[in-house]
Amino acid sequence: MQSSPLWYKDAVIYELHVRAFYDSDGDGAGEFKGLTNKLDYLKDLGVSAVWLLPFYPSPWRDDGYDISDYTGIHPAYGTLDDFKAFLEEAHRRDIRVITELVLNHTSDQHPWFQQARSSRDNPKRDWYVWSETPDRYKDARIIFTDTEQSNWAWDMSSKSYYWHRFFSHQPDLNYDNPAVREEMWNVMKFWLDMGVDGLRLDAVPYLVERDKTSCENLPETHAVLKFLRHRLDENFSDKMFLAEANQWPQDVRAYFGNDDECHMAFHFPLMPRMFMAIKLEDRKPLVDVLQRTPAIPAACQWGTFLRNHDELTLEMVTMDERDYMYDEFAKDARAKLNIGIRRRLAPLMENDRRRIELLNGLLMSLPGTPIIYYGDEIGMGDNIYLGDRNGVRTPMQWNGGWNAGFSDADPERLYAALISNPLYGYQVVNVESQRRSEHSLLSWMKQLIRVRKSTRVFSRGTMDMLQPLNHRVLAFVREFEGAKILVVSNLSSQAQAAELDLRRWKGTVPIEMFGGNPFPRIGDLPYLLTLGPYQFYWFRLRQL
């Protein structure tokens, strides 16, 4: 695999859960050997990196985000050797690997916490945040509002309270302690030395706590990230940190620093607005959020996504917008979770292929590195009758046969029931059947990814938003090193006409990128385009 310091800027990332992808040993859950078997599928899909959800030893009270050993592999997923083999095979296919690192907290089963709670004098005591009263840091909000009443939990053994921003079984590490910072760097180095290409840093805004603050985005937290980045740059040249900071763009901007903190950060506010724009049939939400998105250092990149392993978070929307999203996308109250909607892409789009395509078209053409959630490339459904976010983490549907081709185990033994309803069930929605059709969603996604990767304009280019009078049409021009791409999307369920002011690009000929057909040369007059329902065009603007 070639060294490329900015590989993450041009990547198309595929997020998956090892447990959910492929079970090669028939125990009912996926593991690294199974994942390795399916790398050809990912290569064929065209993705350039995989992001793995946590695979560390864990009591699994938060699907692996409660880590009890940072340098091991959960036995259910295999061994370190299995992981190394997977890494090698992925790299052999030019697929980079991003792993999850939960910096903020551990499981309460982690030996560090077990030692810390064992005695107030234990050397590990100060690795966590303790208090005699639950009154400190009162200005910090509670994140998991459905399950937690406080950010403090009582520890019976040491008779004091410990701080947790997430579940009470996930005590926060104390980053004011230099030993913690040093140890977390050692954890990072362990995986990066092995060959891991990037680390997705979970819940970074919450690393440090201070009284009379929200305990989010504090300067001290940024100092921790700068420390870790400094160590990274000292030791490696083409590794990447990806920040998970569910904040407004102007707050997330700080996580890039001066290219001395994280290389990438998720653009959380953009995600719900893509859904909102299509439902409202109006570009306003997208234009607003893009206008509010600050510039970032040249080497940095936004991570953009439609869906992921969590709920469709609505923390970064206004109250009116949240109400609207709930009313439109969570008509069944079971779909609501915390401040969000736990549904996959296809059910959110009512299985409307045109809307699914348009959303993916937006994802692949807006600034940022797109991240595809496993199964969404075939339009998998979800199961809102499962608890927490497990409904969007069901087994991958490989074919219409036994257990959807996911596992040879008895169905009762699967870690989660397969989706089997008439609309999204594995008999209907699966990789094998879609591979056989040139017109399937899977085939279309492959083409979309191929076109996206055919140019660096999408991954690195500037963006000029156009303002056609028709508000249902989103149009912009991306430009990088002289290459220009015009993107025009109809957000509406009805055919639309749009007149575009393209005089800046007068004389160029728009070449439609999927079919290669030239369109009339751009002149002085408004450029008239008509678009079918939810249709979008990508044009390369060429001087011919």
Q: Which residues are catalytic?
A: 202, 244
Show the CA angle centred on residue 49, arms to residues 45 and 53, nearest 5°: 105
Q: Could you say which of 204, 468, 534, 537 contacts other proteins (CB under 8 A)?
A: 468
Closest distance to other proteins from the beta carbon of 162 (Å):
39
CA 164/CA 172 separation, integer angstroms? 5
Beta strand pairing call for 312-313 and 340-341: antiparallel
Count of beta carbons in the 10 Å neighbourhood of residue 290:
20
Instruction: Report yes or no: 518 and 535 within 8 Å, Cβ to Cβ.
Output: no
Pick between residue 320 and residue 481 the one whose CB is nearest to other proteins: 320
Pick between residue 142 and residue 287 the one whose CB is nearest to other proteins: 287
Pick between residue 48 and residue 496 the one whose CB is nearest to other proteins: 496
Beta strand pairing call for 240-243 and 264-266: parallel
Closest distance to other proteins from the beta carbon of 475 (Å):
13
**Nearest to 249, CA basis, from 268, 274, 221, 272:** 268
Stretch near other proteins under the rule CB under 8 A, chosen from 151-159, 276-284, 339-347, 504-512: 276-284
Closest distance to other proteins from the beta carbon of 493 (Å):
10
Longest dimension (CA), the chain: 78
Closest distance to other proteins from the beta carbon of 348 (Å):
17
Helix (H, G, I), strand (E, B) or coil at 341: strand
Pick between residue 298 and residue 497 the one whose CB is nearest to other proteins: 497
Pick between residue 281 and residue 512 the one whose CB is nearest to other proteins: 281
276 near other proteins, rule: CB under 8 A: yes
Q: How many residues bind other proteins (CB under 8 A)?
A: 20
Closest distance to other proteins from the beta carbon of 327 (Å):
9
Tokens 């005591």 correspond to what residue?
Answer: 125
Count of beta carbons in the 10 Å neighbourhood of residue 287:
17
Instruction: Report yes or no: 18 and 408 within 8 Å, Cβ to Cβ.
Output: no
Pick between residue 74 and residue 283 the one whose CB is nearest to other proteins: 283
Closest distance to other proteins from the beta carbon of 320 (Å):
5
Q: Could you say which of 102, 280, 380, 442 contacts other proteins (CB under 8 A)?
A: 280
**Nearest to 420, CA basis, from 435, 440, 400, 390:** 400
531 near other proteins, rule: CB under 8 A: no
**Nearest to 198, CA basis, from 245, 247, 236:** 236
Q: Could you say which of 166, 255, 324, 538 contacts other proteins (CB under 8 A)?
A: 324
Three state DSSP letters for 153-218: EEECCCCEEEECCCCCCCCEECCCCHHHHHHHHHHHHHHHHHCCCEEEEECHHHCCCCCCCCCCCC
320 near other proteins, rule: CB under 8 A: yes
Which phi and psi (to 5°) does residue 369 adopt? -95, 120
CA 378/CA 398 separation, integer angstroms? 10
Residues 471-510: x where in contact with other proteins by CB under 8 A, - otherwise, as a string: xx-------------------x-x-xx-------------
Stretch near other proteins under the rule CB under 8 A, chosen from 175-183, 210-218, 281-289, 513-521: 281-289
Q: Could you say which of 38, 284, 413, 435 contacts other proteins (CB under 8 A)?
A: 284
Helix (H, G, I), strand (E, B) or coil at 240: strand
Q: Could you say which of 63, 238, 321, 464 contacts other proteins (CB under 8 A)?
A: 321
Stretch near other proteins under the rule CB under 8 A, chosen from 227-235, 241-249, 462-470, 531-539: 462-470
322 near other proteins, rule: CB under 8 A: no
Closest distance to other proteins from the beta carbon of 139 (Å):
23
285 near other proteins, rule: CB under 8 A: yes
**Binding residues for other proteins (CB under 8 A):** 276, 280-285, 318, 320-321, 324, 468-472, 492, 494, 496-497
